[in-house]
């Protein structure tokens, strides 16, 4: 069994024999697992810990032009087989966060992907430009946050707005641009196609599924924001279907995201057409060690099925 951490730090030249190595949208990953946005990603120390635990890449919290405090608690509520959250995009703003990006690059060697949100195409572009200049290897556009008005999914559900945002960001940076799609749409392939046409280098499918939790005793919605986004095992089949649909019809590499908890989940996403997966909610139950557990499982699967590389299984489940 290879030591994932050491393998990650060796650099590309030594990764040739690493069966877990993958790439998407111009990003080289030592293994096909990344930290999903919004999870444990305020501080460089936290991102460093996740990278050292074996993640092939890390995605930060969503960063905007100006600081945001987020919503009051409750911001997270347990559901059956998942978690509903409405954090409200708390973040320090890109001016402050730029130095954190630069510092993070000094303590972690895995690709750093900065998640970006804005209230206009110009804002997305401004944050993306500053983030990549500060050292981010790529940006992931949050056009799918389901609980903040006038940003997130309000952009990502509209092909015209989505096109504008992706185009402006592409013009503002030379680094890979990943578009994180919302599952709260009638046809996710239409949005995947719009993002691709506008120049997206990769897609992340999917963000959380719009949801609510109500307390019977008090007859109240529990989240302070009333509605939130569901993550965790409950949404895995939905996310898997989204990846399958997009892979079938769009030629852009995909980060599978939604409920990945075990190596079997990760393999299913790869078979559905994802080049890599993102993991978030599973950290609540398994701690950052989940990255190593999942990677070891994928590697054992490849060996058992006699595949030399994780790349060989991407999209294998597609019906011919």
Q: Is the dihedral of CA 90, 206, 160, 146 positive or negative?
A: negative
Residue 222 interacts with another protein (CB under 8 A): yes or no? yes
Residue 40 interacts with another protein (CB under 8 A): yes or no? yes
Identify whether the C-beta of residue 259 lies closer than 8 Å to the C-beta of residue 229: no
Residue 272 interacts with another protein (CB under 8 A): yes or no? no
Instruction: Output the 3-class SS for 99-152.
Output: HHHHHHHHHCCCCEEEEECCCCHHHHHHHHHHHHHHCCCEEEEECCCCCCCCCC
Q: How far is the CB of 232 from another protein (least distance, A)?
A: 6
Judged by CB under 8 A, the stretch of 140-148, 242-250, 280-288, 293-301 that binds another protein is 280-288
Rounded Cα distance between 317 and 90, Å, is 38
Active site residue 257: no
Judged by CB under 8 A, the stretch of 114-122, 152-160, 193-201, 220-228 that binds another protein is 220-228
Residue 38 interacts with another protein (CB under 8 A): yes or no? yes
Q: Given the complex with another protein, which of 18 and 231 has the nearer CB atom? A: 231
Residue 5 interacts with another protein (CB under 8 A): yes or no? no
Catalytic residue among 23, 81, 145, 257: 145
* The two three-digit tokens of residue 64, written as one number: 């905007």
Identify whether the C-beta of residue 46 lies closer than 8 Å to the C-beta of residue 52: no
Tracing tokens 């993550």 back to the chain, one arrives at: 231
Residue 232 interacts with another protein (CB under 8 A): yes or no? yes
Residue 76 interacts with another protein (CB under 8 A): yes or no? yes
Judged by CB under 8 A, the stretch of 33-41, 119-127, 129-137, 248-256 that binds another protein is 33-41
Query: Half-sphere exposure of residue 281, counting CA atoms within 13 Å on the CB side?
Result: 24
Identify whether the C-beta of residue 310 lies closer than 8 Å to the C-beta of residue 21: yes
Q: Out of 94, 269, 280, 292, name the contact with another protein by CB under 8 A.
A: 280
Identify whether the C-beta of residue 121 lies closer than 8 Å to the C-beta of residue 164: yes
Q: How far is the CB of 258 from another protein (least distance, A)?
A: 14
Residue 85 interacts with another protein (CB under 8 A): yes or no? yes
**Per-residue exposure over 155-167, b if at least 16 CB sit within 10 Å of its own CB, e if not:** bbbbbebbbbbbb
Q: Given the complex with another protein, which of 3 and 96 has the nearer CB atom? A: 96
Q: Out of 215, 237, 264, 318, name the contact with another protein by CB under 8 A.
A: 215
Letters for 122-161 (x = contact with another protein by CB under 8 A, - = none) are ----------------------------------------
Rounded Cα distance between 72 and 68, Å, is 12
Q: How far is the CB of 45 from another protein (least distance, A)?
A: 4
Query: Nearest-5° angle of CA 252, CA 192, CA 186?
Result: 150
| Non-local CB neighbours of 312 within 8 Å, separated by 6+ positions | 302
Residues that bind another protein in the complex, under the rule CB under 8 A: 38-43, 45-46, 48-49, 61, 67-70, 72-78, 80-83, 85, 87, 90-93, 96-97, 215, 217-218, 220, 222, 224, 232-233, 261, 280-281, 283-285, 287
- Catalytic machinery residues: 145
């Amino acid at each position: 069994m290879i030591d994932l951490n050491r393998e990650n730090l060796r650099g590309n030249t030594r990764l040739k024999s690493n069966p877990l190595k993958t790439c998407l949208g111009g990003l080289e990953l030592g293994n096909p697992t990344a930290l999903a946005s919004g999870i444990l990603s305020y501080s460089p120390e936290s991102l460093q810990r996740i990278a050292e635990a074996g993640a092939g890449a890390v995605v930060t919290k969503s960063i905007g032009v100006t600081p945001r405090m987020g919503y009051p608690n409750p911001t997270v509520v347990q559901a059956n087989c998942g978690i509903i959250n409405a954090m409200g995009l708390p973040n320090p703003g890109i001016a402050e966060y730029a130095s954190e990006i630069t510092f993070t690059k000094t303590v972690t060697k895995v690709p750093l992907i900065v998640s970006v949100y804005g209230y206009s195409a110009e804002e997305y572009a401004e944050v993306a430009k500053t983030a990549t200049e500060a050292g981010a290897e790529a940006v992931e556009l949050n056009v799918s946050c389901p609980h903040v008005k006038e940003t997130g999914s309000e952009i990502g559900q509209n092909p015209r707005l989505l096109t504008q945002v992706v185009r402006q960001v592409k013009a503002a940076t030379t680094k890979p641009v990943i578009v994180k799609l919302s599952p709260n749409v009638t046809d996710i392939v239409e949005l995947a196609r719009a993002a691709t046409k506008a120049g997206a280098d990769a897609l992340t499918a999917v963000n959380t599924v719009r949801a609510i939790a109500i307390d019977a005793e008090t007859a109240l919605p529990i989240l302070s924001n009333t509605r939130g986004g569901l993550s965790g095992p409950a949404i895995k089949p939905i996310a898997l279907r989204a990846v399958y649909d997009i892979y079938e019809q769009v030629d852009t590499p995909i980060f599978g995201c939604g409920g990945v908890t075990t190596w079997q989940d990760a393999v299913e996403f790869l078979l559905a057409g994802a080049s890599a997966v993102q993991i978030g909610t599973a950290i609540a139950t398994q701690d950052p060690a989940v990255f190593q557990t999942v990677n070891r499982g994928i590697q054992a699967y490849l060996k058992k099925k006699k595949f030399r590389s994780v790349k060989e299984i991407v999209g294998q489940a597609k019906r011919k």
